[in-house]
């Protein structure tokens, strides 16, 4: 057995002598054929031999286990002087890059970055934003309900009420985060990202909102990219606007992302007086503006992608292009 140098060969030796069909096992089974007077002495001798062989087997197996690293090193030599394989360098997702850039731009304008819950109370998601039960504006937001009064938030706007109830004007705040709606096409997804921005103080006007939106988009896309403002309707702002950006994918000629050369990216307006009242802020003394920038569309425009859905398909062939 001591001449055995391979673990596989040692296992074969064990099977040949000590295994179920081994030689020693067969000898032990044959003790019954001996005369009765000889059986005790023969049994003791056979057991002593078996114990000695088992002990020798375990000791030699341990010796082989200790020698295995050295044997493997000589059998499969490793040249430690060779250059190793470089690790693949990771990078931020396109939407994460866009979110960081936008938050940095708005932070330079004096906005504080906060967070809010994705699973939201219906009261904050709708009612306190001037959309009581059965308000027709709720039909614009098909929602994922957790229970009768809990919903996956459909926009980041509930953070307006949460923040305003905990702060005294003046303040400027942005809240980036995920939102959920039943939408799915080139410019919509059932899960998407927004950056909610709002400012409350004295003498805040629509001009302040316009200047903030235009400055944000020009810093992200350059001064040559055209921005269009148009009237709109949202229950929680009055008056309401939508800011469109000239499509960077088609150059304004029309494509699957923009349809007519423009992409809606930053809807907003002046915070409705009722929302201020719901947030314990006196609308006779204070005013404010709010906007909700769509990060997915801004990322598509920033990187020249004609469909936002590939951002979430985890296809590295797509993501590594950028």
Answer yes or no: is 101 within a domain: yes
Confidence of residue 305 (pLDDT cuts 50, 70, 90): confident
DSSP labels, 139-155: GG----EEETTEEE-SS
Report how far apart, in Å, the C-alpha atoms of 15 and of each of 29, 140, 207, 257 are: 16, 76, 90, 71
The verdict on 221 and 173 lying in the same domain is: yes
Per-residue model confidence as pLDDT tens digits over 94-107: 999 999 999 999 99
Token pair recorded at residue 296:
């997915």
pLDDT at residue number 51: 78
The verdict on 116 and 163 lying in the same domain is: yes
Does the pLDDT of residue 3 top 80, yes or no?
Answer: no
pLDDT at residue number 151: 92
H or E segment at 240? strand 237-246
Does the pLDDT of residue 124 top 90, yes or no?
Answer: yes
Segment 71-89 mean pLDDT: 72
Does the pLDDT of residue 243 top 80, yes or no?
Answer: yes
pLDDT at residue number 216: 94
Answer yes or no: is 40 within a domain: yes
> Cβ(310)–Cβ(285) under 8 Å?
no
The verdict on 46 and 194 lying in the same domain is: no
The verdict on 116 and 69 lying in the same domain is: no
Map tokens 């096992």 to a residue: 25
pLDDT at residue number 185: 61
Does the pLDDT of residue 321 top 70, yes or no?
Answer: yes
> Cβ(291)–Cβ(267) under 8 Å?
yes
**Domain range for 43:** 7-75
The verdict on 112 and 171 lying in the same domain is: yes
pLDDT at residue number 145: 87
The verdict on 163 and 298 lying in the same domain is: yes
Percent of the chain with pLDDT over 90: 45
The verdict on 205 and 238 lying in the same domain is: yes
Does the pLDDT of residue 63 top 70, yes or no?
Answer: yes
Q: Which of 178, 211, 176, 198 is nearest to 100 (CA)?
A: 176
**Could you tell me which residue, 25 or 218, shows the higher pLDDT?**
218
Q: Which of 293, 321, 256, 255 is nearest to 99 (CA)?
A: 293
Number of domains in the chain: 2
The verdict on 64 and 99 lying in the same domain is: no
The verdict on 43 and 165 lying in the same domain is: no
DSSP labels, 110-143: TPEE----SEEEHHHHTGGGT--TT-GGGGG---
Does the pLDDT of residue 187 top 60, yes or no?
Answer: no
- Highest mean predicted confidence (pLDDT) among 60-64, 175-179, 246-250: 175-179
Distance of alpha carbon 157 from alpha carbon 275, whole angstroms: 11
Cis-peptide into 239, omega within 30 deg? yes
Map tokens 């947030």 to a residue: 279
Q: Count CA atoms closer than 13 A to 301's CA, side-chain side.
A: 29
Percent of the chain with pLDDT over 70: 87
> Cβ(174)–Cβ(196) under 8 Å?
yes
pLDDT at residue number 73: 61
The verdict on 133 and 23 lying in the same domain is: no
266 DSSP β-pair partners: 243
Token pair recorded at residue 209:
């909102």
Answer yes or no: is 84 within a domain: no
The verdict on 56 and 145 lying in the same domain is: no
Tell whether pTM > 0.85.
no
Answer yes or no: is 304 within a domain: yes
**Could you tell me which residue, 3 or 64, shows the higher pLDDT?**
64
Map tokens 């996956």 to a residue: 152
Per-residue model confidence as pLDDT tens digits over 28-37: 777 667 777 7
Distance of alpha carbon 314 from alpha carbon 93, whole angstroms: 10
Beta pairing, strands 171-180 & 150-152: unpaired
């Amino acid at each position: 057995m001591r001449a055995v140098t391979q673990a596989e060969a040692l296992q074969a030796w064990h099977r040949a002598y000590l295994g179920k069909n081994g030689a020693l096992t067969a000898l032990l089974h044959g003790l019954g054929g001996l005369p009765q007077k000889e059986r005790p002495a023969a049994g003791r001798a056979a057991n002593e031999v078996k114990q000695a062989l088992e002990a020798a087997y375990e000791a030699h197996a341990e010796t082989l286990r200790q020698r295995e690293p050295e044997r493997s090193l000589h059998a499969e030599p490793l040249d430690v002087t060779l250059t190793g394989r470089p690790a693949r360098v990771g990078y931020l997702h396109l939407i994460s890059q866009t979110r960081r850039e936008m938050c940095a731009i708005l932070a330079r304008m004096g906005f504080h970055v906060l967070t809010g819950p994705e699973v939201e109370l219906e009261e904050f998601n709708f009612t306190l934003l001037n959309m009581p039960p059965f308000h027709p504006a709720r039909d614009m937001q098909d929602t994922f309900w957790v229970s009768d009064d809990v919903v996956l938030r459909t926009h980041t706007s509930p953070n307006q009420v949460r923040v305003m109830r905990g702060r005294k004007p003046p303040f400027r705040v942005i809240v980036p985060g995920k939102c959920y709606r039943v939408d799915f096409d080139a410019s919509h997804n059932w899960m998407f990202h927004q950056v909610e921005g709002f400012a409350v103080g004295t003498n805040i006007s629509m001009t302040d909102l316009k200047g903030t939106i235009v400055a944000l988009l020009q810093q992200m896309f350059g001064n040559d990219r055209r921005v269009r403002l148009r009237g709109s309707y949202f229950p929680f702002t009055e008056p309401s606007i939508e800011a469109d950006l000239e499509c960077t994918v088609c150059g304004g000629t029309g494509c699957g992302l923009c349809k007519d050369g423009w992409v809606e990216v930053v809807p907003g307006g002046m915070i409705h007086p009722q929302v201020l009242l719901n947030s314990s802020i006196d609308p006779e003394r204070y005013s404010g503006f709010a906007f909700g920038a769509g990060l997915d569309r801004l990322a598509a425009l920033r990187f020249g992608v004609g469909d936002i859905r590939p951002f979430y398909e985890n296809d590295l062939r797509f993501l590594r292009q950028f």
